[in-house]
């Protein structure tokens, strides 16, 4: 592709990227985003066709206007050779810059589409609506439809901070759903009705308890959550009233134990894993979640990683089919109904 055409294409890609960025940063509703993207797609294709035509004309004109040169002396030939070398170096350098800029723009565009798809997935989850592949493709620019699997994988990995997994529930219709890593009521929403997953908060608290030696002071829990901008006395756009969720709801569901520390004045409290947490997850899974949130690997938590490995071995031995006359572990039963506090609904 001629350098001039490459440059124009790069500029148009940057303009297209600028169209995407405000949408992902402002958290626009997916329906509005989809409509904007569809109109942007049409405009971009028109621009690219115009760019292609302009580039072809430039190439044609350049060929017809190429100057004729005559070399009669060796000095002239040497000078021409030097000029060609310099021109070639400049062209190579320019091509490298354009290529690097195009790659960066391409990567930025993929990141923007991943962000839009994340918003779309969470919106569908909150509204309890099916997630269809055909609708997800409307979020992604047609040029990148061949990268759908990669973009979907990246978006689903980002959803890990909510402690939910994207799973295909029907391979015929290509429908998906976000499924919580724990059996919280209403698929992680906790309360009846619509809402966003609360599983991430629970997994975070379980992780802090594990890292703190399987028993964490309440102040340590809030110190960590405050770094996530989750505060005890402030309503959160995902978790509603975090203090109530942690000290009452998760405790009632037996995922956490919340007890007063003996011989403390003023009173102090601490958290431990509840029986349902032990039954539905493991130290390794919680450590993997913490590592994901902190953009690292489980082995980075060296002492906890060793403990988690030992826990995995013990669990493996416990799941070996029981022989006659021995007892087997029975998972904690799933609750028949979920709590319905009206103050925290629709989160």
Higher pLDDT, 127 or 79: 127
Task: Say whether pLDDT at 177 is over 60.
Answer: yes
Q: What is the pLDDT of residue 162?
A: 87
Q: What is the pLDDT of residue 1?
A: 54
Question: In this structure, what token pair is assigned to residue 339?
Answer: 């709590």
Task: Say whether pLDDT at 297 is over 80.
Answer: yes
pLDDT digits (tens, 9 = 90+) for 259-289: 999 998 999 999 999 999 999 999 999 999 9
Task: Say whether pLDDT at 205 is over 80.
Answer: yes
pLDDT digits (tens, 9 = 90+) for 81-130: 555 555 555 555 555 555 566 667 777 888 899 999 999 999 999 999 99
- How many whole angstroms separate alpha carbon 196 and alpha carbon 237? 9
Q: What is the pLDDT of residue 325?
A: 57
Q: Which of 229-233, 290-294, 302-306, 342-346 has the lowest mean pLDDT?
A: 342-346
pLDDT digits (tens, 9 = 90+) for 5-63: 554 445 444 444 444 443 333 333 433 333 333 333 333 333 333 434 444 444 444 44
- How many whole angstroms separate alpha carbon 136 and alpha carbon 150? 13
The SS3 of residue 177 is strand
The count of C-alpha atoms lying within 13 angstroms of the C-alpha of 9, restricted to the half-sphere facing its C-beta, is 19
Query: How far are the Cα atoms of 67, 68, 74, 132 from residue 71, in angstroms, in the given order?
Result: 13, 10, 8, 68
Q: What is the pLDDT of residue 188?
A: 87
The residues, any chain, with a CB within 8 Å of residue 198's CB and separated by 6 or more, are 184, 188, 189, 190, 238, 239, 245
> With the C-alpha atoms ordered 191, 194, 199, 204, is the resulting torsion angle positive or negative?
negative
Q: How confident is the model at residue 318 (pLDDT cuts 50, 70, 90)?
A: confident
Indicate the Cα dihedral angle 119, 123, 125, 126, nearest 10°: 130
The residues, any chain, with a CB within 8 Å of residue 102's CB and separated by 6 or more, are 6, 9, 10, 13
Q: What is the pLDDT of residue 4?
A: 52
- How many whole angstroms separate alpha carbon 201 and alpha carbon 38? 36
């Amino acid at each position: 592709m001629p350098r001039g055409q490459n440059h124009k294409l790069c500029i148009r890609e940057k303009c297209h990227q600028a169209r995407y960025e405000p949408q992902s940063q402002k958290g626009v509703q997916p329906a509005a985003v989809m409509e904007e993207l569809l109109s942007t797609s049409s405009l971009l294709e028109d621009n690219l066709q115009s760019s292609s035509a302009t580039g072809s004309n430039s190439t044609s004109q350049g060929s017809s206007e190429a100057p004729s040169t005559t070399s009669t002396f060796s000095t002239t030939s040497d000078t021409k050779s030097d000029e060609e070398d310099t021109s070639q170096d400049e062209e190579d350098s320019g091509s490298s810059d354009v290529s690097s800029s195009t790659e960066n723009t391409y990567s930025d565009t993929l990141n923007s589409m991943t962000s839009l798809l994340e918003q779309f997935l969470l919106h569908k989850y909150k509204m309890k609506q099916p997630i269809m592949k055909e609708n997800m493709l409307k979020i992604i620019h047609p040029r990148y439809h061949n990268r759908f699997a990669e973009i979907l994988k990246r978006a689903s990995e980002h959803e890990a901070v909510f402690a939910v997994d994207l799973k295909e529930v029907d391979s015929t219709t290509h429908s998906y759903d976000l499924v919580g890593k724990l059996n919280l009521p209403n698929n992680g929403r906790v309360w009846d009705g619509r809402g966003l997953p609360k599983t991430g908060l629970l997994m975070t608290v379980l992780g802090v308890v594990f890292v703190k030696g399987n028993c964490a002071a309440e102040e340590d829990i809030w110190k960590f959550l405050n770094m996530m901008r989750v505060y005890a006395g402030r309503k959160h756009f995902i978790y509603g009233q975090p203090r109530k969720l942690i000290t009452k709801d998760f405790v009632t569901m037996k995922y956490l134990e919340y007890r007063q520390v003996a011989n403390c004045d003023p009173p102090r409290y601490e958290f431990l894993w509840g029986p349902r947490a032990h039954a539905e997850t493991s130290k390794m899974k919680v450590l993997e979640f913490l590592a994901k949130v902190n953009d690292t690997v489980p082995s980075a938590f060296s002492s906890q990683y060793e403990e988690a490995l030992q826990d995995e071995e013990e669990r493996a031995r416990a799941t070996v089919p029981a022989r006659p006359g021995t007892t087997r572990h029975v998972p904690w039963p799933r609750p028949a109904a979920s709590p319905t506090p009206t103050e925290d609904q629709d989160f």
